[in-house]
Structure 1
Amino acid sequence: MANSSSEVITCKAAICWGVGKPVTVEEIQVDPPKATEVRVKMLCASVCHTDITSTQGFPGVYPVVLGHEGVGVVESVGDQVKSLKEGDVVIPTYIGECQECENCVSGKTNLCLTYPIRLTGLMPDNTSRMSIRGQRLHHVLSCATWSEYMVADVNYVLKVDPSIDPAHASFISCGFSTGFGAAWKQAKVESGSSVAVIGLGAVGLGAISGAKMLGATKIIGIDKNEMKREKGEAFGMTHFINPGDSTKSVSELVKELSGGRSVDYSFECTGVPPLLTESLEATKVGTGETIAIGVGTEPIVPFGIGSILYGRTLRGSVFGGLKTISDLSIIANKCQKEEFPLQELFTHEVTLADIRKAFELLKQPNCAKVVIKM
């Protein structure tokens, strides 16, 4: 493989050619980085629910090189890149932070106007550094981690300590951090409060972890998979609800566990439309706050007006409200110091060549995260 930043690299990558089409691992060409870009040799990646929806129509650009969670080493840099050098360990992000635009300085949102989420699957100059047999390939958002090499704009990567566990670094590049940030930065969970988390995948477990850090005293995890009880407890869950064990609704079960008063905060992490209403109904009248995190392929079903009419708040969340430089760097530091039990997430591992197996593993009840070794 070439090491010169001026040469095209041929490598393997996982590609989806269209909605519902099988994922194939093929040889692609990765161009050298342009002025403000870095080319990254991936160390490992992991599978997030958004990778599955990327094969089902979100955001709808094909052919696409999959993957947006991962960690790698900078192989080469563009001539205007000053903040990174060859050999730096980095994780990709799909949100940038200029620290100067109206949104960045407002303190109200993590959605930077200068470096926005890239739904086009292309670089900021609307071109691609990836191709196959002369045909342009797209990214998932701003990166493509299921490839041995990828190129990203320097404003969409974060340098991390090289001693960080690669698998754990991959987990915090999206899933876990999204949930953690939703509790920390979006809801700003208060000490002594009560919390309900619907869906105990990496995102939900991150929300539990964030709520615990902030001092929530009652943290209710909800999942139809009984095996998630142990995972939830490892991250700080105090109570568990399996909706399959009762004919009552999720919101009723949460109400029973909270002395009939419901909870202060709820986090909907599944993207299943009817559960948004349940998540709202599970919070207190007048003051309850629901953070919608899960992304599904179905349109959201209109919720009962009473769910929100009685003073509850519903907020959407992208990347848990985390800013790349200001906030994700703090999580990365905590990860490097092993302050989170992220080993609990690492349940399965596959090679890039065997990527299709990852989709089958995710259907198994004991599967939390699948790590892809490059």
Structure 2
Amino acid sequence: MTTAGQVIRCKAAVAWESGKPLIIEDVEVAPPKIHEVRIKIIATGVCHTDNEYLFETGKGMKFRPFPLVLGHEAAGIVESVGPEVTNFSPGDKVIPLFLPQCQDCERCHNPETNHCRRNWANTQAGVLADGTSRISCKGQQVYQFLGISSFSQYTVVPDTSLAKIRSDAPLDKVFLLGCGVSTGYGAAVKTGKVKKGSSCAVFGLGAVGLAAVMGCQIAGATTIIGVDVNPEKFEKAVFFGATECVNPKDHTKPIQEVLVEKTDGGVDYALECVGDPAVMSAALESTTDGWGICVIAGWTETEVMQVEVEKILMGRTLMGTYFGGWKSVQDIPTLVDNYMDGKLKLDEFITDHLPLDQINKAFETLKSGTSIRTKISLWQEEA
């Protein structure tokens, strides 16, 4: 690439302060440093987590510094690599990862967890390994959300936070595996380990919840109940594998009581994909005693979940999942292969398409519940 080693000037959607719409700016993206890779982002999604950090900081979300370029669910092409990078070359198709996998630490060697902590504290604070960001605007450092910042045409990420994928993968589809679909699907098949012939309830039918429904269906569950207060999502849930859907607003009893009655004692598995502590409690209480498993996939950082101790003492298991339990660098290419082989749906999650300069519309449709995922094209020719 002729741009290797040079500062790249490009467009990015910058969040200058909390609670305000993004502004399309000209930014400068510095070359990658040691163990870093600069990538051209082709497509990115707008996730609930992006929305929460922009509009709900302080309401269950920890503060991140501004100005900030959001975005963490994306796919792109390697433009250049920094010193000591051996696993990537210019032209490689890649998916950036908010969860690293260094493959050398105790956690990476432990099959029970995917929680690698390489560069973790820095990327959570919006910087890379040396404590600075590679993006600047108007002479000011711009922080990188979760070490990624995919709402920029170019960005720089650590080489341990990047998955190389097959060259024939369509980047405008597989970007979904960078967050939402991997999280929901993994909550069912990787963390919860849903069994064939079981009963499941999925709370929240956004992208993560629909991916969880898909996971339950692929795992062979015979009863899959979708739960959401927006009945417009029910048709899509049935398409992904739900056997029926329930709206809590249609009942005078708490939804957990409705589900316990409907399933003659409770479901085998409940997957919470909302990020609301009250919904988490309801999901746990909807499972059967003796062996019920509740997996929390919805995201909140500071809120407290209320658990009635007896619900646990009676044999239920309460679990959390981060990125669906996948070991990011090694597992994401396999999920891409599964999609390419027709074993995973991705196209059907994309309900809207927008160019970068209309990204604020994607936040509006996300909040209104009228879309599942909006694909943001970073370049006009891909729009």
Larger deviation: 329-338 or 222-231?
A: 329-338
Q: Structure 1: 5+ residue runs without aligned partners?
A: none
| 1:182 aligns to 2:187 (yes or no) | yes
Partners of 1:241 and 1:157 in 2: CA distance = 38
Partners of 1:111 and 1:288 in 2: CA distance = 25
Instruction: Provide the secondary structure at the position in 1 that maps to 2:44.
Output: strand
| 1:191 aligns to 2:196 (yes or no) | yes
Partner of 2:108: 104
Larger deviation: 168-177 or 239-248?
A: 239-248
| 1:145 aligns to 2:150 (yes or no) | yes
CA drift of 1:41 comes to: 0.8
Partners of 1:13 and 1:268 in 2: CA distance = 33
Match of 1:251 among 253, 256, 260: 256
Partners of 2:222 and 2:147 in 1: CA distance = 37
Partner of 1:173: 178
Contact 1:53 / 1:297 at 8 angstroms: preserved in 2?
no
Partners of 2:159 and 2:302 in 1: CA distance = 33
Partners of 2:289 and 2:171 in 1: CA distance = 43
Contact 1:27 / 1:132 at 8 angstroms: preserved in 2?
yes
CA deviation map 1:193-241 (0-9, x unaligned): 1111100111111111112222212111111111211111221111211
The two structures, once aligned, show a CA RMSD in angstroms of 1.7
Larger deviation: 116-125 or 72-81?
A: 116-125
CA deviation map 1:126-169 (0-9, x unaligned): 22101112211111112010101100111111111232222321
Contact 2:62 / 2:302 at 8 angstroms: preserved in 1?
no
Partners of 1:125 and 1:286 in 2: CA distance = 49
Partner of 2:245: 240
CA drift of 1:105 comes to: 1.9
Mapping of residues 276-287 of structure 1, within 5 Å: 276-287=280-291
Contact 2:40 / 2:153 at 8 angstroms: preserved in 1?
yes
CA drift of 1:74 comes to: 0.8
Partner of 1:357: 361
CA drift of 1:256 comes to: 2.6
Question: Structure 1 residues 224, 301: CA separation in 2 closer, same or farther (over 3 Å shift)?
Answer: same
Taking structure 2 as the reference length, the TM-score comes to 0.92
Contact 1:164 / 1:335 at 8 angstroms: preserved in 2?
no
Partners of 1:104 and 1:115 in 2: CA distance = 14
Match of 2:210 among 201, 205, 209: 205
Question: Structure 1 residues 30, 327: CA separation in 2 closer, same or farther (over 3 Å shift)?
Answer: same
| 1:64 aligns to 2:68 (yes or no) | yes
Contact 2:48 / 2:366 at 8 angstroms: preserved in 1?
no
Instruction: Provide the secondary structure at the position in 2 that maps to 1:267.
Output: strand
Partners of 2:254 and 2:2 in 1: CA distance = 57
Partner of 1:114: 118
Partners of 2:134 and 2:44 in 1: CA distance = 19
Q: Structure 2: 5+ residue runs without aligned partners?
A: 379-383
Partner of 2:33: 34
Partner of 1:227: 232
Question: Structure 1 residues 14, 20: CA separation in 2 closer, same or farther (over 3 Å shift)?
Answer: same
- Return the letter of the residue paired with 2:351: T
Partner of 1:217: 222
Contact 2:161 / 2:329 at 8 angstroms: preserved in 1?
no
Partner of 2:48: 49
How many percent of aligned residue pairs carry the same amino acid?
39
- Return the letter of the residue paired with 1:39: R
CA drift of 1:244 comes to: 1.8
Contact 2:160 / 2:329 at 8 angstroms: preserved in 1?
no
Partner of 1:13: 12
| 1:268 aligns to 2:272 (yes or no) | yes
Instruction: Provide the secondary structure at the position in 2 that maps to 1:141.
Output: helix
Partner of 1:323: 327
Partners of 2:2 and 2:341 in 1: CA distance = 32
CA deviation map 1:291-322 (0-9, x unaligned): 11111476124233333332222112110111
Partner of 1:314: 318
CA drift of 1:79 comes to: 2.7
Partners of 2:107 and 2:11 in 1: CA distance = 38
Instruction: Provide the secondary structure at the position in 1 that maps to 2:39.
Output: strand
Contact 2:119 / 2:128 at 8 angstroms: preserved in 1?
no
CA deviation map 1:3-28 (0-9, x unaligned): 32211111111111222122211111
Instruction: Provide the secondary structure at the position in 1 that maps to 2:109.
Output: helix
Taking structure 1 as the reference length, the TM-score comes to 0.94
Contact 2:163 / 2:330 at 8 angstroms: preserved in 1?
no
Q: Aligned residue pairs: how many?
A: 372
CA deviation map 1:252-275 (0-9, x unaligned): 2212331x2211111111011211
- Return the letter of the residue paired with 1:85: S
- Return the letter of the residue paired with 2:291: T
Instruction: Provide the secondary structure at the position in 1 that maps to 2:26.
Output: strand
CA drift of 1:59 comes to: 4.1
